[in-house]
Chain A
Amino acid sequence: MTATLRMRLPAAALFLSAVFATGAAVAAGKIAVITPYLAQPGTQFYVEAFQAAAKDKAWDVNVIDTKGDVAAVISRLEDAATQKVDAVVINVDPAQVEAGLAAVKDAGIPVVGMDAGASPYLVTNVTSNGYAMAADTAAYVANRIEGKGSVVMFVFDAFPPVQVRGVIADAVFGNNPDIKVLDRVTPDVSDGGIADSRAKMEAILAANPDKGSISAVWAAWDQPALGALQAIEAAGRQDEGIVITGIDANPQAREAIAAGGNFEASMAQDFHGIGAAAAEAVAQTLSGKPPKSSVTYVPTKLITIDNVKE
């Protein structure tokens, strides 16, 4: 009996106190960063940049990853409210965690969104400008084909952030009287989007066999652009000068752009910039001068063969 006790109790205490020692620093501000998505590359970049900025400001940052569990984000928001941290940063759709945000608001703690989505509960949401990204790539296409020709669009209207991109591109192409939108395709994304986009593009190429009948492919994100590129290369029509653009500038897209083929441009989000700007927004809020706008945009960059290696 005593053996059992001796084993169990001090061992637990030992664990706890060892762990406790790591979190006990007294700091200028206690910030909780809560996300279910830390395993995703983009989120890791935000969080690293945020932590780097926080180090300069001597904040005590607690990064909490709930590993995909959105309800646990609510629980941890409630805990942060109980703990009375100085500020909270979230990277999750605010609409899904409103219960937790309400608890944090009741405790008088400001919340900054880091690519989270707009919400009245947030001081501000730091993110890339989806409107601008779509406008940049659509304008690139319009300029490259000199304002005339047939364009194939890959869109996805079911997901609001991507839907916005399509609407902006529609406006840019609509403003060029000689540009005709040949097709507005919604690929099946259940396998990532590349394969189905390729199949759809192959069908369009077959329907338009003449050289010059397709001038450009504008895609609302990189995967359909990559699928279209594969279809064009497989059809042996890579020399017709079909211009392809995507958005996000993922590694596969960057590789395709660097290869100098039809895939010419994509948009890179500044993940580090988002993290740093989120830290800045927190600093402003703590100093009593919160950002005025409910959304804080961090500039994005057009990636072409000229700057893809940077």
Chain B
Amino acid sequence: MASALKTYGTLIGFVLVVLFFWIEIPDTFMTAKNWLNISQQVSMLAVVAFTMTIVMVMGDFDLSVGSMASLAGIVAALAFRDGHGVWVGVALALAVGLVGGLLNGALVAYVGILPFVATLGTLTVYSGLAFLVSGGKTIFGRDIPTAFSGFARSGISLTDTVSLPSLTIVAALVLLVVWFTLEQTTFGRRLYAIGGNKEAARLAGIRVRRLRFLAFGLSGLGAATAGLMYASRVASANPTQGSGLMLDAIAAVFLGMTMSEEGEPHVAATLIGVLILGVLGNGLTQMSIDSYVREVLIGSIIVLAVASSSLGKTKG
């Protein structure tokens, strides 16, 4: 009972935040349309956070996801500008994400650099590359095909006024794939074992280096996917536009980790973390609350959630 409340404290906090907004904004908050809006608003963050969960399961970090998202958007936009089709641009951006992620993995797993340092380095490298190939400019307007920018505005109509946004569908698919990979496959089991005890996992015959290498590749791929979603949503690509994603994604995973007994990340819990961030952004805007106050609040909630769960753990 006690441990259940400790584990579900963050979830309860989330429910209370939702209830609070429901009471304060009775007409518009608890509507299908608003929740679909929220789902679309958090979709890019969600994809980055879900794939970030994969590396954080092993106890690693990927700080380069934000710059990778920017770089992927730029790569796709440049391909479009050179007259390539939507699928060519998308494939190219995803390939850049995968290769960039695998480079992180190689630095961490085979060269043996701490993930924090390695991905801090590649964060700067990918960001620099994004500026370099774009000449520092925003690529927008006619250069971005409507088939690409239209995707973020499309969706499956549910009723006359409400539709399920395509970006939400993408995020849901990524959630499903990551959940399946982490929770149902031997690949995922092995990642959790590495996170629990790297040395024991290695001695028990797990190819620790190969798995870390691959997991970072997936994180890079996720970052590139989010970068494409972002570029589609703003119908443009700018060398800095993904930079906000990294810290929010790590925050979301941490919020999720407070819900696990062992303090290990699970992608379903990461989803709750993402939703907490998204709902606060949405609800506080609707309540006309200053955007800087919102930042203070979100930061405080993260610290509070993590602090109370660790307090509970040391006492328990």
Contacts and interface: CB of A to CB of B under 8 A. Distances in A.
Interface of A: 1, 3-5, 7-9, 11-13, 15-16, 19-20, 22-23, 30, 32, 60, 62-72, 74-76, 78-80, 82-84, 93, 95-99, 102-103, 158-159, 189-190
The binding surface of chain A is classed by DSSP as: helix
Given A1-B2, A96-B140, A102 B153 contact: yes
A12 B13 contact: yes
Nearest to B309: A4
Contacts of A97: 234
B28 A82 contact: yes
B102 to A, nearest CB: 27
Given A11-B304, A12-B304, A71-B44, A5 B5 contact: yes
B300 A15 contact: yes
B240 A68 contact: yes
B152 A83 contact: no
- Ranked nearest first, the 8 interchain pairs of A and B with the lowest CB-CB distance are A1-B2, A75-B41, A79-B285, A62-B288, A83-B286, A23-B288, A1-B5, A4-B312
Contact of B235 (A13, A82, A95): A95
Contact of B33 (A3, A13, A82): A82
Contacts of B6: 1, 4
Given A63-B291, A75-B41, A9 B285 contact: no
Contacts of B304: 7-8, 11-12
A70 B286 contact: no
Interface of B: 1-3, 5-6, 9, 12-13, 16-17, 20, 24-25, 28-29, 31, 33-34, 37, 40-41, 44, 135-138, 140-141, 149, 152-153, 230, 233-236, 238, 240-241, 243-244, 281-282, 284-293, 297, 300-301, 304-305, 308-309, 311-312, 315
State the main secondary structure of chain B at its contact with A. helix
B134 to A, nearest CB: 11
Contacts of B236: 70, 93, 95-96
A76 B37 CA distance: 10
B36 to A, nearest CB: 10
B37 A158 contact: no
Given A1-B1, A68-B240, A75 B282 contact: yes
Contacts of B31: 82
Contacts of B235: 95-96, 98-99
B86 to A, nearest CB: 17
A190 B135 contact: yes
Given A13-B20, A82-B33, A70 B238 contact: yes
13 contacts: A1-B312, A5-B9, A7-B311, A12-B17, A13-B20, A68-B241, A74-B233, A75-B37, A80-B285, A83-B28, A83-B286, A93-B236, A96-B235
Which of the listed residues A1, A7, A63, A66 has the most CB atoms from chain B within 10 Å of its own CB?
Answer: A1
A27 to B, nearest CB: 9
Contacts of A82: 28-29, 31, 33-34, 37, 282, 286
Given A15-B300, A93-B140, A159-B137, 12 more contacts: A1-B1, A8-B9, A16-B297, A20-B289, A23-B287, A23-B288, A60-B288, A71-B241, A79-B286, A80-B285, A84-B28, A103-B37
